[in-house]
Structure 1
Amino acid sequence: MIESYIVSINISKRKGVVKEPVQKAEIKENWGIIGDAHAGNWHRQISMLSEESIDKMRNLGYELKYGDFAENITVKNGDIYKLPVGTKVKIGETLLEITQIGKKCHTSCAISQTIGKCVMPIEGIFLKVLKGGEIKVGDSVIFYTHELTNI
Protein backbone atom coordinates (compact mmCIF):
# COMPACT_ATOMS: atom_id res chain seq x y z
CA MET A 1 0.00 0.00 0.00
CA ILE A 2 1.28 3.46 -0.94
CA GLU A 3 -0.40 6.61 0.32
CA SER A 4 -0.50 9.95 -1.46
CA TYR A 5 -2.85 12.94 -1.82
CA ILE A 6 -4.37 15.02 -4.61
CA VAL A 7 -2.64 18.35 -5.27
CA SER A 8 -4.71 19.18 -8.36
CA ILE A 9 -7.74 18.00 -10.34
CA ASN A 10 -7.73 19.12 -13.97
CA ILE A 11 -10.33 18.97 -16.75
CA SER A 12 -10.78 20.18 -20.32
CA LYS A 13 -13.77 20.30 -22.65
CA ARG A 14 -11.72 19.06 -25.64
CA LYS A 15 -8.78 16.78 -26.30
CA GLY A 16 -5.27 17.96 -27.21
CA VAL A 17 -5.22 20.99 -24.90
CA VAL A 18 -3.92 21.62 -21.40
CA LYS A 19 -6.44 21.00 -18.64
CA GLU A 20 -7.63 23.65 -16.19
CA PRO A 21 -7.57 23.06 -12.41
CA VAL A 22 -10.82 22.65 -10.47
CA GLN A 23 -11.29 22.16 -6.71
CA LYS A 24 -13.51 19.08 -6.97
CA ALA A 25 -14.95 16.72 -9.55
CA GLU A 26 -17.59 14.05 -9.89
CA ILE A 27 -16.30 10.70 -11.12
CA LYS A 28 -18.77 8.41 -12.87
CA GLU A 29 -18.40 4.62 -12.82
CA ASN A 30 -17.17 3.20 -16.16
CA TRP A 31 -16.88 6.73 -17.55
CA GLY A 32 -14.37 9.08 -15.84
CA ILE A 33 -14.60 12.69 -14.73
CA ILE A 34 -17.92 14.26 -15.69
CA GLY A 35 -17.25 17.21 -18.02
CA ASP A 36 -13.80 16.05 -19.15
CA ALA A 37 -13.11 15.37 -22.85
CA HIS A 38 -11.18 12.15 -22.14
CA ALA A 39 -14.02 10.50 -20.22
CA GLY A 40 -15.79 7.65 -21.96
CA ASN A 41 -16.32 3.93 -22.11
CA TRP A 42 -12.69 2.89 -22.61
CA HIS A 43 -9.60 1.90 -20.59
CA ARG A 44 -8.11 5.42 -20.18
CA GLN A 45 -10.98 7.18 -18.42
CA ILE A 46 -8.73 9.15 -16.06
CA SER A 47 -5.06 10.13 -16.31
CA MET A 48 -2.77 10.68 -13.34
CA LEU A 49 0.72 12.12 -12.95
CA SER A 50 2.81 12.79 -9.86
CA GLU A 51 4.07 16.23 -8.96
CA GLU A 52 7.56 14.73 -8.81
CA SER A 53 7.29 13.79 -12.49
CA ILE A 54 6.29 17.37 -13.33
CA ASP A 55 9.21 18.60 -11.20
CA LYS A 56 11.63 16.70 -13.48
CA MET A 57 10.55 19.00 -16.30
CA ARG A 58 10.54 22.08 -14.06
CA ASN A 59 14.13 21.27 -13.09
CA LEU A 60 15.03 21.58 -16.80
CA GLY A 61 13.93 25.21 -16.61
CA TYR A 62 10.33 24.96 -17.80
CA GLU A 63 7.57 26.83 -16.00
CA LEU A 64 4.72 24.35 -15.74
CA LYS A 65 1.42 24.33 -13.91
CA TYR A 66 -0.92 21.49 -13.01
CA GLY A 67 -2.87 20.27 -16.03
CA ASP A 68 -0.18 21.26 -18.55
CA PHE A 69 0.45 17.58 -19.30
CA ALA A 70 -3.32 17.04 -19.71
CA GLU A 71 -3.38 14.94 -16.54
CA ASN A 72 -6.72 14.72 -14.76
CA ILE A 73 -5.29 14.14 -11.31
CA THR A 74 -1.93 15.32 -10.01
CA VAL A 75 -0.74 13.57 -6.86
CA LYS A 76 2.11 14.11 -4.45
CA ASN A 77 3.83 10.72 -4.44
CA GLY A 78 7.02 9.86 -6.31
CA ASP A 79 7.11 7.01 -8.77
CA ILE A 80 3.47 6.03 -9.35
CA TYR A 81 4.40 4.97 -12.89
CA LYS A 82 6.30 2.03 -11.38
CA LEU A 83 3.09 0.54 -9.95
CA PRO A 84 1.76 -2.48 -11.84
CA VAL A 85 -1.27 -2.49 -14.10
CA GLY A 86 -4.18 -3.80 -12.02
CA THR A 87 -3.26 -1.73 -8.94
CA LYS A 88 -6.43 -0.45 -7.24
CA VAL A 89 -6.58 3.22 -6.30
CA LYS A 90 -8.94 4.49 -3.60
CA ILE A 91 -9.79 8.19 -3.42
CA GLY A 92 -12.50 8.97 -0.88
CA GLU A 93 -15.51 6.85 -1.81
CA THR A 94 -14.23 6.18 -5.34
CA LEU A 95 -12.29 3.16 -6.57
CA LEU A 96 -10.14 3.16 -9.70
CA GLU A 97 -7.85 0.62 -11.36
CA ILE A 98 -4.61 1.26 -13.22
CA THR A 99 -5.07 0.01 -16.80
CA GLN A 100 -2.02 1.47 -18.57
CA ILE A 101 1.36 2.98 -17.76
CA GLY A 102 2.55 5.61 -20.22
CA LYS A 103 1.25 6.13 -23.75
CA LYS A 104 2.37 6.95 -27.24
CA CYS A 105 2.90 10.69 -27.46
CA HIS A 106 1.07 12.52 -30.21
CA THR A 107 2.98 15.53 -31.56
CA SER A 108 -0.13 17.68 -31.67
CA CYS A 109 -0.47 17.88 -27.87
CA ALA A 110 -0.08 21.31 -26.33
CA ILE A 111 2.97 20.47 -24.19
CA SER A 112 4.83 18.85 -27.09
CA GLN A 113 4.17 21.90 -29.26
CA THR A 114 5.28 24.28 -26.53
CA ILE A 115 8.48 22.69 -25.22
CA GLY A 116 9.05 19.67 -27.45
CA LYS A 117 9.41 17.24 -24.55
CA CYS A 118 6.84 15.50 -22.37
CA VAL A 119 6.97 13.26 -19.30
CA MET A 120 3.37 11.99 -19.61
CA PRO A 121 4.14 9.25 -22.21
CA ILE A 122 6.60 7.63 -19.78
CA GLU A 123 5.38 8.46 -16.27
CA GLY A 124 1.66 9.09 -16.68
CA ILE A 125 -0.76 6.38 -15.57
CA PHE A 126 -4.25 5.71 -16.84
CA LEU A 127 -7.18 4.37 -14.88
CA LYS A 128 -10.73 3.14 -15.27
CA VAL A 129 -13.44 3.91 -12.72
CA LEU A 130 -14.77 0.93 -10.76
CA LYS A 131 -16.84 2.99 -8.31
CA GLY A 132 -17.79 6.64 -8.74
CA GLY A 133 -18.17 9.55 -6.36
CA GLU A 134 -16.80 13.00 -5.62
CA ILE A 135 -13.10 13.78 -5.30
CA LYS A 136 -11.49 17.02 -4.17
CA VAL A 137 -8.06 18.59 -3.85
CA GLY A 138 -6.40 17.36 -0.67
CA ASP A 139 -8.11 13.95 -0.71
CA SER A 140 -5.99 10.98 0.30
CA VAL A 141 -5.03 8.59 -2.53
CA ILE A 142 -4.21 5.01 -1.58
CA PHE A 143 -2.62 2.61 -4.07
CA TYR A 144 -3.23 -1.08 -3.32
CA THR A 145 -1.03 -3.59 -5.15
CA HIS A 146 -2.79 -6.55 -3.50
CA GLU A 147 -6.40 -7.73 -3.56
CA LEU A 148 -8.82 -5.48 -1.73
CA THR A 149 -11.57 -6.76 0.51
CA ASN A 150 -14.48 -4.97 2.15
CA ILE A 151 -14.26 -1.71 0.23
Structure 2
Amino acid sequence: MAGSVTAVSRSATHTFSKVPLESVRLLPGLGVEGDAHSGTTVKHRSRVAHDPSQPNLRQVHLVHAELHDELRDAGFAVRAGDMGENVTTRGVDLLGLPTGTRLHLGESAVVEVTGLRNPCGQLNGLQDGLMKAVLDRDEDGNLVRKAGIMGVVVTGGEVRPGDPIRVELPAGSHHPLQPV
Protein backbone atom coordinates (compact mmCIF):
# COMPACT_ATOMS: atom_id res chain seq x y z
CA MET A 1 0.00 0.00 0.00
CA ALA A 2 1.49 3.35 -1.00
CA GLY A 3 0.21 6.89 -1.11
CA SER A 4 1.39 10.45 -0.91
CA VAL A 5 1.45 13.50 1.33
CA THR A 6 -0.86 16.22 -0.01
CA ALA A 7 -0.27 18.83 2.71
CA VAL A 8 1.63 19.46 5.95
CA SER A 9 0.50 21.85 8.69
CA ARG A 10 1.34 23.05 12.17
CA SER A 11 0.38 25.61 14.78
CA ALA A 12 2.61 26.90 17.56
CA THR A 13 -0.43 27.62 19.72
CA HIS A 14 -3.44 25.55 20.74
CA THR A 15 -5.62 26.71 17.86
CA PHE A 16 -8.02 24.14 16.42
CA SER A 17 -6.89 24.54 12.81
CA LYS A 18 -3.28 24.43 11.66
CA VAL A 19 -1.54 26.46 8.95
CA PRO A 20 -0.46 24.60 5.78
CA LEU A 21 3.26 24.99 5.07
CA GLU A 22 5.82 24.05 2.42
CA SER A 23 7.36 21.53 4.84
CA VAL A 24 7.44 20.39 8.45
CA ARG A 25 10.23 18.69 10.38
CA LEU A 26 9.33 15.63 12.43
CA LEU A 27 11.42 15.15 15.57
CA PRO A 28 11.91 11.63 16.99
CA GLY A 29 9.91 11.04 20.15
CA LEU A 30 8.45 14.55 20.05
CA GLY A 31 6.32 15.26 16.96
CA VAL A 32 6.18 18.22 14.60
CA GLU A 33 8.84 20.83 15.33
CA GLY A 34 7.18 24.08 16.42
CA ASP A 35 3.72 22.52 16.90
CA ALA A 36 1.85 23.04 20.18
CA HIS A 37 1.25 19.28 20.48
CA SER A 38 4.93 18.33 20.23
CA GLY A 39 6.46 16.64 23.25
CA THR A 40 7.04 13.39 25.09
CA THR A 41 4.04 13.88 27.40
CA VAL A 42 0.44 14.82 26.51
CA LYS A 43 -0.20 18.33 25.23
CA HIS A 44 -3.95 18.26 24.59
CA ARG A 45 -5.44 20.50 27.25
CA SER A 46 -8.07 18.06 28.54
CA ARG A 47 -5.49 15.29 28.89
CA VAL A 48 -2.98 17.61 30.60
CA ALA A 49 -5.69 18.60 33.10
CA HIS A 50 -6.37 14.91 33.85
CA ASP A 51 -2.75 13.68 34.05
CA PRO A 52 0.12 15.71 32.54
CA SER A 53 2.57 12.82 32.90
CA GLN A 54 0.80 10.59 30.33
CA PRO A 55 2.92 9.67 27.31
CA ASN A 56 2.08 11.66 24.19
CA LEU A 57 0.56 9.13 21.78
CA ARG A 58 -0.80 12.02 19.70
CA GLN A 59 2.41 13.67 18.45
CA VAL A 60 1.29 13.67 14.81
CA HIS A 61 -2.30 13.86 13.53
CA LEU A 62 -2.92 12.46 10.02
CA VAL A 63 -6.10 12.86 7.96
CA HIS A 64 -6.84 11.30 4.59
CA ALA A 65 -7.68 13.81 1.84
CA GLU A 66 -10.46 11.45 0.78
CA LEU A 67 -12.31 12.58 3.94
CA HIS A 68 -12.01 16.19 2.77
CA ASP A 69 -13.48 15.10 -0.59
CA GLU A 70 -16.37 13.34 1.18
CA LEU A 71 -17.04 16.36 3.36
CA ARG A 72 -16.98 18.74 0.38
CA ASP A 73 -19.50 16.48 -1.38
CA ALA A 74 -21.70 16.82 1.71
CA GLY A 75 -21.52 20.63 1.54
CA PHE A 76 -18.68 21.40 3.96
CA ALA A 77 -15.77 23.68 3.06
CA VAL A 78 -12.79 21.87 4.60
CA ARG A 79 -9.15 22.33 3.61
CA ALA A 80 -5.91 20.72 4.72
CA GLY A 81 -5.10 21.67 8.30
CA ASP A 82 -8.63 22.86 9.10
CA MET A 83 -9.38 19.84 11.31
CA GLY A 84 -6.08 20.17 13.17
CA GLU A 85 -4.11 17.62 11.19
CA ASN A 86 -0.35 17.85 10.69
CA VAL A 87 -0.18 15.57 7.65
CA THR A 88 -2.84 15.18 4.97
CA THR A 89 -2.52 12.02 2.91
CA ARG A 90 -4.01 10.50 -0.23
CA GLY A 91 -4.09 6.88 -1.30
CA VAL A 92 -3.64 5.24 2.11
CA ASP A 93 -6.57 3.73 4.04
CA LEU A 94 -5.52 5.34 7.30
CA LEU A 95 -8.58 4.19 9.23
CA GLY A 96 -8.01 0.58 8.19
CA LEU A 97 -4.42 0.39 9.43
CA PRO A 98 -3.62 -1.71 12.49
CA THR A 99 -2.01 -0.28 15.61
CA GLY A 100 1.77 -0.23 15.27
CA THR A 101 1.82 0.37 11.52
CA ARG A 102 4.80 2.46 10.46
CA LEU A 103 4.28 5.15 7.86
CA HIS A 104 7.45 6.11 6.00
CA LEU A 105 7.00 9.74 4.91
CA GLY A 106 9.33 11.22 2.36
CA GLU A 107 13.03 10.41 2.46
CA SER A 108 13.49 9.52 6.13
CA ALA A 109 10.60 10.28 8.51
CA VAL A 110 8.76 7.38 10.15
CA VAL A 111 5.54 7.72 12.16
CA GLU A 112 4.17 4.78 14.14
CA VAL A 113 0.37 4.70 14.29
CA THR A 114 -0.97 4.69 17.86
CA GLY A 115 -4.72 4.99 17.31
CA LEU A 116 -7.74 6.89 16.09
CA ARG A 117 -8.42 10.53 16.68
CA ASN A 118 -11.56 10.84 18.75
CA PRO A 119 -13.40 13.76 17.13
CA CYS A 120 -14.48 16.52 19.49
CA GLY A 121 -17.17 19.18 19.53
CA GLN A 122 -14.67 21.81 18.40
CA LEU A 123 -15.36 20.53 14.88
CA ASN A 124 -18.78 22.20 15.08
CA GLY A 125 -16.98 25.47 15.87
CA LEU A 126 -15.30 25.15 12.49
CA GLN A 127 -18.57 24.38 10.70
CA ASP A 128 -21.94 23.47 12.15
CA GLY A 129 -22.66 19.76 11.76
CA LEU A 130 -19.05 18.78 11.05
CA MET A 131 -18.78 16.62 14.17
CA LYS A 132 -21.69 14.46 13.05
CA ALA A 133 -20.28 14.29 9.52
CA VAL A 134 -17.04 12.66 10.73
CA LEU A 135 -18.90 9.97 12.66
CA ASP A 136 -20.68 7.03 11.06
CA ARG A 137 -21.93 3.53 11.84
CA ASP A 138 -20.74 0.30 10.26
CA GLU A 139 -23.04 -2.52 9.13
CA ASP A 140 -23.11 -3.87 12.71
CA GLY A 141 -24.02 -0.50 14.21
CA ASN A 142 -20.57 0.17 15.66
CA LEU A 143 -19.36 3.77 15.80
CA VAL A 144 -16.87 4.68 13.07
CA ARG A 145 -14.58 7.64 13.75
CA LYS A 146 -13.39 9.18 10.47
CA ALA A 147 -11.43 12.21 11.77
CA GLY A 148 -8.00 10.68 11.20
CA ILE A 149 -5.34 8.84 13.11
CA MET A 150 -2.61 9.68 15.58
CA GLY A 151 1.01 8.59 15.75
CA VAL A 152 4.41 9.07 17.31
CA VAL A 153 7.62 9.95 15.49
CA VAL A 154 10.08 7.04 15.39
CA THR A 155 12.55 8.58 12.92
CA GLY A 156 12.73 12.27 12.20
CA GLY A 157 12.94 14.09 8.92
CA GLU A 158 11.50 16.74 6.66
CA VAL A 159 8.04 16.08 5.17
CA ARG A 160 6.60 17.97 2.20
CA PRO A 161 3.51 17.86 0.00
CA GLY A 162 4.16 15.38 -2.81
CA ASP A 163 6.33 13.10 -0.67
CA PRO A 164 5.60 9.39 -1.03
CA ILE A 165 4.16 7.36 1.84
CA ARG A 166 5.17 3.74 2.29
CA VAL A 167 3.15 1.59 4.67
CA GLU A 168 4.93 -0.99 6.83
CA LEU A 169 2.48 -3.26 8.64
CA PRO A 170 3.50 -4.61 12.06
CA ALA A 171 4.73 -8.18 12.39
CA GLY A 172 2.48 -10.73 14.05
CA SER A 173 -1.21 -10.32 14.76
CA HIS A 174 -2.85 -7.02 13.88
CA HIS A 175 -5.06 -5.03 16.23
CA PRO A 176 -7.65 -2.52 14.98
CA LEU A 177 -7.18 1.11 15.88
CA GLN A 178 -8.84 2.42 19.03
CA PRO A 179 -9.22 6.07 20.10
CA VAL A 180 -6.14 7.52 21.81
Equivalent residues in 2 for 1:77-96 (5 A)?
Answer: 77-91=91-105, 92-96=107-111
Off by >4 Å, runs of 4+ in structure 1: none
Q: Deviations over 1:109-144 (max 9, x none)?
A: 2x3212232328812110100111111111101111
Partner of 1:145: 169
- Give me the whole-angstrom Cα distance separating, in 2, the residues matched to 1:77 and 1:20: 22
Q: Deviations over 1:85-131 (max 9, x none)?
A: 1101111201110001231x332x2x321223232881211010011
TM-score between both structures, scaled by the size of structure 1: 0.87
Partner of 1:136: 160
Equivalent residues in 2 for 1:37-76 (5 A)?
Answer: 37-41=36-40, 42-76=56-90
Retained in 2: the 8 A contact 1:10–1:67? yes
How big is the shift at 1:16?
4.0
Larger radius of gyration: 2
Mark the runs of 5 or more structure 1 residues left unpaired by the alignment: none
Identical pairs, percent: 26
The structure with the greater share of residues assigned to strand is 1
Alpha-carbon RMSD: 1.7
Partner of 2:112: 97
Mark the runs of 5 or more structure 2 residues left unpaired by the alignment: 41-55, 136-143, 172-180
How many residues in Structure 1 have an aligned counterpart in Structure 2?
A: 143
1:31 aligns to 2:11 (yes or no): no
Letter in 2 for 1:102: R
Partner of 2:2: 3
- Give me the whole-angstrom Cα distance separating, in 1, the residues matched to 2:63 and 2:10: 14
How big is the shift at 1:78?
5.0
